[in-house]
Amino acid sequence: MAATDLVRASTRVAMVWPHTAIVQRDIADLRAAPSTESELVDQPHMGENVRVLGEDGDWRYVQGPDQYFGWVPVDHLDILSGYGEAFVVAVLLASIRDAPRSDGMVIARLPTGTLIRPIYTSIQQPDGSYRRIAYEHPPGWRETRLGRGRSGYVAETDLVEIDQLPHRYPTAADYLKTAESFIGVPYLWGGTTALGLDCSGFVQQVYRLNGVALPRDADQQAVLGRKVEVARAGDLMFFGADSVTHVALATSATEFIHAPMKGGAVEHHRLGPERKLRGIRRYLPDPSAP
């Protein structure tokens, strides 16, 4: 990596961690609006996890395991507010080194948002049973397993504890703060990290880092959420001559951030004749909902 790339890789990335809830009814009706008279859009089942993204009175706006969005009564959910010991990569790219030293050889890199789970070891008790205890990491470092018996070390300065992240509903402002961290990242067809991003990979990661799951491709993203006529910050704009072939994150009704094309980089842009706007989709509750 060049020196400028190393600086970019160490950029702290804004993110939020919405609460997860477990469905506690046999079948939970997911509605298009917070009303029992509203259209039924999906049905999460007992024991499934949903992400809680908004509220309106006794209703919660959630995203289910199949990525649909909708409203469900709060008493159908068991909302989890506690978090175990775990870390999340908080920079664009965190280096994994072969030793817990800043001059250790880089053997892998972890993209922002990667979960670093705790490591446990077992010790044998006098009665022959085993007790699991937390692994003691070298000061300032977290060891992580890479598979096939390999492990490496990530500097704690590149991580944040999950319980230190904001645990609340994501907002359009959160999307924009996250997106700004990727400005200048080169375009890469199929890319989803700060080493390179394509248009749908970029918006997918921005949403993911704020607790919202989107499909991988732009045409798939264009069928979730709900259609709106005028964009506001945080919406997605979809472009294409005959079908959806490009997506961007709106920053206003006429401006956006996107990963443009081969040879380009994530940048600010505005609506113009070079791209045909085919539609706008919104994935969070409208401002009228608290």
Catalytic residue among 76, 137, 167, 258: 258
Catalytic residue among 137, 199, 268, 269: 199
What stretch of H or E contains 8? Answer: helix 3-9
φ, ψ at 115 (rounded to 5°): -85, 130
Report the C-alpha gap between 87 and 169 in whole angstroms. 20
Residue 137 annotated as catalytic:
no
Nearest to 67 by CA among 46, 81, 48, 47: 48
Judged on CB neighbours under 10 Å (0-12, 13-18, 19+), 13 is buried
Report the C-alpha gap between 15 and 78 in whole angstroms. 24
Residue 199 annotated as catalytic:
yes
Question: Could you identify the residue written with the tokens 């390179």?
Answer: 196
Catalytic residue among 76, 137, 167, 246: 246
- Between the two ends of the chain, the Cα-to-Cα distance in Å is 45
Q: Return the bridge partners of 62, or none.
A: 52, 70
Q: What is the per-residue DSSP string for 89-123?
A: E-BSEEEEESSSSTTSPEEEEEETT-EE---EEEE
Residue 258 annotated as catalytic:
yes
Point out the residues that are catalytic: 199, 246, 258
